[in-house]
Amino acid sequence: MKSAARLYAVQALFQMEAGDVTLEEVREQFIDHRFGAEIEEGEFVPGNVNLFETLLFEAVNNQARIDQMTDRALVAKWPIDRIDSTLRALFRAAGAELITGKTPPKVSISEFVDVAKAFFPEGREASFVNAVLDHMAHEAQPEAFEK
């Protein structure tokens, strides 16, 4: 359920940016119509609502901080506003989880690399996401990497 919440958070953040949707609108839409909902094509996986809301709220409330962390992890010629909007949403959701410090960074990284694989199954994005998130994790939780 936590993996689904992470995936939904990335989708919601993408939707907010692409569709100019408010935080409350997207939160309600996902909780009311996606978490465990049955549709003609199948069923949405139930997600952890608390984690979804935490990631969403933290990503929005700390977007400037998370974007700055992401920028520092990216190559200088590729600031966050030049990367794919799906990856931007993913970095914001992952950054939100990293700054809360409630999940070990290696778990967060692994989970969001899996999310990247779901969105980009044929590409090299998963390796890129792993490298960027590793850099962000060292910045957000340096104590987790001390021996």
112 neighbors 132 (Cβ within 8 angstroms): no
What's the chain's average pLDDT? 88
Q: Six-digit token pair at 144?
A: 């987790």
Q: Cα(10)–Cα(15) distance, rounded to whole angstroms?
A: 9
- pLDDT score at 1: 78
Under DSSP, the state recorded for 46 is P
Phi and psi at 101, nearest 5°, equal 70, 15
- Please answer whether residues 105 and 137 qualify as being in contact, where contact means their C-beta atoms are separated by less than 8 angstroms: yes
DSSP-derived pairing of the beta strands 42-43 and 38-39: antiparallel
pLDDT tens digits for range 30-54: 888 777 655 555 556 677 889 999 9
Domain ranges of the chain: 2-145
Degrees, nearest 5: CA angle 18-19-20: 100
The CATH class of 2-145 is mainly alpha
Is residue 61 very low, low, confident or very high in pLDDT (cuts 50, 70, 90)?
very high
